[in-house]
Chains A and B, each alone.
Chain A
Amino acid sequence: MKLEVAQLHSPTMLREMAVAAIRTNKLSKNYGLGRGLFDLDLEVSPREVFGYLGPNGAGKTTTIRCLMGLIRPTGGAAHIFGLDCRRDSVAVKRKVGYLPGDIPQFGSLRGKEVVAYLAGMRGGADPKTVRSIAERFDLDLDRRFREYSTGNKRKLGILLAFMHQPELLILDEPTSGLDPLNQQEFYALLREARDGGAAAFLSSHILSEVEHICDRVGILRAGRLVNVAQLEDLHHIRAHRVELEFAPGTPVPESAIRSAAGVENVTADGQRVSCTVRGSFAPLFEAIRSAKVTDLVSTEPSLEEIFLSYYSETAPSPKALPQ
């Protein structure tokens, strides 16, 4: 036990704890015509799961590729555990597990050969870890890559990112193509990695996904970081579209719904009412408590829709999130 405490407080360990898992300073990648990434200042702590949200084309993948040293920033700098992402890219990648947005083609190689190939390039991976992850996702490693479905290719990508138990996971839309059961398995795997000491940076455009697993989120729009918020702050921008249907011949409590806190955009058409609920559902349920509801459908709008409603696309600067 003493040895463990000594190790925990060794100078090296303390230094490791002090440096951010990811730190960017005015990181920019300008593709011209207003496209790219601009002046990104971001810090992700060790053991933190950071969600990176933004609509399509916002610059999420560009950020990730800059962090991985795959593309050259046109300005600023990015560091992973204090190492420069371009200059020290080999050392950086020893610490990182990466899942790209599009899984590459490996043609006729078998799953186990793809794993061995990339593990070989890393200097090896623990077969027990590989077996454990493959079992969790029920991924048959004896099949050829070209025979894999989209979901199985994504599972293989997850296995490749996690197999060497990296200190930092950089994941580009990791659950895209996974069915709900495997999504839950992925969330569990990510939590275990965090509990084991790893940090994670994952991009997504699914709000509910980052709510499941992230400690903090950064919201990107048109290449600029709009805000970085704690998880609970998301509830302020999160919205649901609700469709209510009341029993025929019964009164519709339209005015009560309109006056309920957090309920917006109310439209009524006979026995049907639709509205948007921001934050808690409690005021809406209170408003309809005495009415006879025959159907209630709640859907989560896409991130693009939330952005359109929460941030004015035409405004020069968006509204700040509540802190």
Chain B
Amino acid sequence: MTAVALGLRLGRWGIAGFSVLAFVSSLIQAVGFYQLAGHTPAQRAAFAQSMTQLASQLTLILPPPTRLDTVGGYVEWRSFGGLAILFAVWALVSASGAARGDEERGLVESVLAGGLPRFAWIAARVTGFAAASFVAALASGLGLVAGAATGGESVGPGPILEVAVGLAALGLSCYSLTILMAQLTSARIATAAAGAVLLTLFLGNTLSRTFTWLASWRWLSPFHYYELNHPLASGGTFEGRATLTMVGIALLAAAAAAVLFESRDLGSAFLRWPARHRPVSYEPSLSLVWRIAVVRGLYERRVGLAMWAAGLAAVGGLFVSLTKTVIQPLLSIPALTHFFGGFVGGQLYTSFLGYFWLSFAQLLVAGFAIAQVASWSAEDSDGRLELMLSTPISRAAIVVERALVLALGALAVAAISEVAVLITSHYQAMDVSAQKVTEASLLLVPFALVFAAAGSVLAAWNPRAAVGLLGAFAFASYLVDEVSPIFKWPTWVQDFSAFKLFGMPLSSGIDRGGLAIMVAIILVGFGASILLMERRDVGA
């Protein structure tokens, strides 16, 4: 019980943050439903029909919807569909931290030295996350209740409990699978390996809706079982068997993780290359890369950068290869043909990629920036910043070097994904403007720097809370861009969103005003973080 409490305490900021995010997400979608769908049954039926057509083309990310004419069905699709991804990411980060991060910090060693068996430690962490994810999932349900109340409707406790159980079960299965992967691999690649497994399970399920040959494998994916639940839609059902399957996956993975944990040494992976005999070396590295500012930062992060670039390039190529499949059915709808014709000025595929691919790329690049900020916070909490500041380098220089490393890293990631998009579109015989794709890809660099600037301020102010707060900032930024048109918020409010400032560079060209605001935010953000860094205590 003490170990469960310890796990909950270690993850308290995650529980609080994700509960708030889940609540706000459902609340906004529910309130937005009443703004968009109208109030008469006829209006809502028309809304549902148009949204269903659009939703059928978004199945790469979101599950197929049901009953979009009801607030429950709409929120289930718009909010709980996206929350599945969010909970998977939360589970990934929490589980890899619990399995290997806490081990690196010596926490696991201390706990085990206190007499707790290894399997009990795994059980405690899994139980703790089960409770945490249920609380956050319940918060999401409560967001729907609050949002529905604004439209004069009510949602019963049964469906709320059912949807929360389903979401928590998905999060739990992702958590246990990550714990399992973390036993197999070294701490260095545990998060990446588990992330690759979860991404494969997610894409395996979503792509099976397009590529039928994948359908026979979807039973492996917990995301498939999650989508079988539709407790919020009128006439929807709660699939108890599907939920139990997700819990079963979680228990099986946790049990396997416990067995592997019993069999491996602390600090080592279960799967290891045999150690090579090599002579002791007293020689320092003479490589030039460590001597040149910025280059040393890029070199140290080379594995991470390569993975981000490969991931972004793979997803970009995938989006391009799906574009024709998605766009042809849309063009068969007369109203949309007229819309596309007027909106894109002939550059149909370029504009379509701009909307779907770049929206997704923005999320990934924001994630890249947050990951870099997390490494800055880790430098602080691990004591590395203290040692860096014992060298004749000023605090301002450290902030500037971090910014440049991030900018060049983002540039490399964006450039490689751009090449992947252009090559794939060439092989797909799609008429895509290379110049516009290049401009849009370059725009991802200041976009990443906006998040980095905010993260730099937060890391200088309070490094422990920086990642959580930056995640909340990114989510708020995304929400502002999403809901501003619905609620008709003024332009200056929308300009708080980096996603809005990025604009639609492939269809509308670069928004120079937005770019200028981004540059201003970057300069002010990094300037402020230099001032904060100069004044703060390090290592205290």
- Listed in ascending order, the chain A residues whose CB lies under 8 Å from chain B are 62, 65, 68-72, 89-91, 93-94, 96, 98, 100, 102-110, 112-113, 115-125, 127, 130-131, 134-135, 138-142, 146, 160
Q: Within the complex, what minimum Cβ distance (angstroms) separates A129 from chain B?
A: 9
Mark each residue of chain B from 369 to 395: 1 if its CB lies under 8 Å from any CB of chain A, else 0.
000000000100011101111111110
Q: Are A94 and B281 in contact (CB under 8 A)?
A: no
Q: Are B387 and A98 in contact (CB under 8 A)?
A: yes
Q: Are B283 and A116 in contact (CB under 8 A)?
A: no
Q: Within the complex, what minimum Cβ distance (angstroms) separates A29 from chain B?
A: 8
| CB-based nearest A residue for B384 | A104
| CB-based nearest B residue for A150 | B106
Mark each residue of chain B from 164 to 208: 1 if its CB lies under 8 Å from any CB of chain A, else 0.
000000000000000000000001100000000000000000000
Q: Are A100 and B284 in contact (CB under 8 A)?
A: no
Instruction: Enumerate chain B residues within 8 angstroms of A100, measured Cβ to Cβ.
Output: 383, 386-387, 390, 539
| CB-based nearest A residue for B397 | A90
B2 adjacent to chain A (CB < 8 Å) = no
Whether A146 contacts B104 in the complex (CB less than 8 A), given A93-B391, A93-B392, A106-B384, comes out as: yes
Of B288-296, B422-430, B511-519, B523-531, the one contacting chain A is: B288-296
Q: Are B390 and A98 in contact (CB under 8 A)?
A: yes
Q: Are B280 and A104 in contact (CB under 8 A)?
A: no
Q: Are A112 and B392 in contact (CB under 8 A)?
A: no
Instruction: Enumerate chain B residues within 8 angstroms of A89, measured Cβ to Cβ.
Output: 394
A131 to B280, alpha carbons, bound, how many Å? 12
Instruction: Enumerate chain B residues within 8 angstroms of A113, measured Cβ to Cβ.
Output: 285, 290
A108 to B278, alpha carbons, bound, how many Å? 18
Instruction: Enumerate chain A residues within 8 angstroms of B394, measured Cβ to Cβ.
Output: 89-90
B278, B296, B384, B391: most-surrounded residue (chain A CB, <10 A):
B391
Q: Within the complex, what minimum Cβ distance (angstroms) separates A196 from chain B?
A: 20
What are 30 inter-chain pairs, A to B, with CB distance below 8 A?
A65-B538, A65-B539, A68-B389, A71-B537, A71-B540, A72-B535, A93-B389, A102-B383, A103-B383, A105-B104, A105-B384, A106-B384, A108-B188, A112-B283, A113-B285, A116-B291, A117-B290, A117-B296, A118-B388, A119-B291, A120-B291, A122-B391, A127-B286, A130-B284, A134-B282, A140-B280, A141-B282, A146-B187, A146-B267, A160-B387
Instruction: Enumerate chain B residues within 8 angstroms of A134, measured Cβ to Cβ.
Output: 282, 284
A140 to B282, alpha carbons, bound, how many Å? 6
Q: Within the complex, what minimum Cβ distance (angstroms) separates B217 from chain A?
A: 34
A90, A103, A125: most-surrounded residue (chain B CB, <10 A):
A90
Instruction: Enumerate chain B residues within 8 angstroms of A104, measured Cβ to Cβ.
Output: 382-384, 386-387
Instruction: Enumerate chain A residues within 8 angstroms of B390, measured Cβ to Cβ.
Output: 68, 93, 96, 98, 100
Instruction: Enumerate chain B residues within 8 angstroms of A110, measured Cβ to Cβ.
Output: 285
| CB-based nearest B residue for A107 | B188
Q: Within the complex, what minimum Cβ distance (angstroms) separates A265 from chain B?
A: 36
Q: Are A91 and B392 in contact (CB under 8 A)?
A: yes
In the A-B complex, list the 9 residue pairs whose CB atoms are closest, starting with the nearest.
A104-B383, A116-B290, A98-B390, A134-B282, A71-B537, A116-B285, A142-B281, A105-B382, A121-B391
A122 to B388, alpha carbons, bound, how many Å? 9
Q: Within the complex, what minimum Cβ distance (angstroms) separates B294 from chain A?
A: 11
Instruction: Enumerate chain A residues within 8 angstroms of B383, measured Cβ to Cβ.
Output: 100, 102-105
A134 to B284, alpha carbons, bound, how many Å? 9
Q: Are B537 and A72 in contact (CB under 8 A)?
A: yes
Instruction: Enumerate chain A residues within 8 angstroms of B284, measured Cβ to Cβ.
Output: 112, 115-116, 119, 125, 127, 130-131, 134, 141
Cross-chain pair count, CB within 8 angstroms: 120
B287 adjacent to chain A (CB < 8 Å) = yes
Q: Are B285 and A90 in contact (CB under 8 A)?
A: no
Instruction: Enumerate chain B residues within 8 angstroms of A125, measured Cβ to Cβ.
Output: 284
- Listed in ascending order, the chain B residues whose CB lies under 8 Å from chain A are 104, 187-188, 267, 278, 280-287, 290-292, 296, 300, 378, 382-384, 386-394, 535, 537-540
Identify B296's interface contact among A93, A103, A120, A135, CB under 8 A.
Answer: A120
Instruction: Enumerate chain A residues within 8 angstroms of B392, measured Cβ to Cβ.
Output: 90-91, 93-94, 121-123
Q: Within the complex, what minimum Cβ distance (angstroms) separates B384 from chain A?
A: 4
A264 to B287, alpha carbons, bound, how many Å? 62
Q: Are A118 and B387 in contact (CB under 8 A)?
A: yes
Q: Are B281 and A65 in contact (CB under 8 A)?
A: no
Q: Within the complex, what minimum Cβ distance (angstroms) separates A132 from chain B?
A: 8
Q: A70-B537, A108-B188 are in contact. List 20 more A-B contacts (CB 8 A).
A: A70-B389, A70-B538, A70-B540, A72-B537, A89-B394, A90-B392, A93-B392, A93-B393, A103-B383, A104-B383, A105-B382, A107-B188, A112-B285, A117-B300, A120-B292, A122-B392, A127-B284, A138-B280, A140-B280, A140-B282
A270 to B294, alpha carbons, bound, how many Å? 73
Q: Within the complex, what minimum Cβ distance (angstroms) separates A35 from chain B?
A: 11
A93 to B393, alpha carbons, bound, how many Å? 8
A297 to B180, alpha carbons, bound, how many Å? 53
A130 to B290, alpha carbons, bound, how many Å? 15
A130 to B300, alpha carbons, bound, how many Å? 21
| CB-based nearest A residue for B396 | A90
Instruction: Enumerate chain A residues within 8 angstroms of B300, measured Cβ to Cβ.
Output: 109, 117
Instruction: Enumerate chain B residues within 8 angstroms of A107, measured Cβ to Cβ.
Output: 104, 188
A112 to B278, alpha carbons, bound, how many Å? 15
A103 to B287, alpha carbons, bound, how many Å? 24
Q: Are B290 and A120 in contact (CB under 8 A)?
A: yes
| CB-based nearest A residue for B391 | A121
Instruction: Enumerate chain A residues within 8 angstroms of B393, measured Cβ to Cβ.
Output: 90, 93, 121
A62 to B540, alpha carbons, bound, how many Å? 8
Q: Within the complex, what minimum Cβ distance (angstroms) separates B460 from chain A?
A: 14
A62 to B390, alpha carbons, bound, how many Å? 15
A98 to B378, alpha carbons, bound, how many Å? 20
A161 to B393, alpha carbons, bound, how many Å? 15
| CB-based nearest B residue for A91 | B392
Q: Are B291 and A71 in contact (CB under 8 A)?
A: no
Instruction: Enumerate chain A residues within 8 angstroms of B540, measured Cβ to Cβ.
Output: 62, 65, 70-71
A91 to B393, alpha carbons, bound, how many Å? 9
A141 to B279, alpha carbons, bound, how many Å? 11
Q: Within the complex, what minimum Cβ distance (angstroms) separates A256 from chain B?
A: 48
Q: Are B290 and A119 in contact (CB under 8 A)?
A: yes
A131 to B386, alpha carbons, bound, how many Å? 24
A120 to B290, alpha carbons, bound, how many Å? 6
Q: Within the complex, what minimum Cβ distance (angstroms) separates A189 from chain B?
A: 15
A121 to B287, alpha carbons, bound, how many Å? 14
Q: Are B386 and A112 in contact (CB under 8 A)?
A: no
Q: Within the complex, what minimum Cβ distance (angstroms) separates A46 from chain B?
A: 20
A94, A112, A120: most-surrounded residue (chain B CB, <10 A):
A120
Q: Are B280 and A142 in contact (CB under 8 A)?
A: yes
Instruction: Enumerate chain A residues within 8 angstroms of B290, measured Cβ to Cβ.
Output: 113, 116-117, 119-120
Q: Within the complex, what minimum Cβ distance (angstroms) separates A83 from chain B?
A: 12
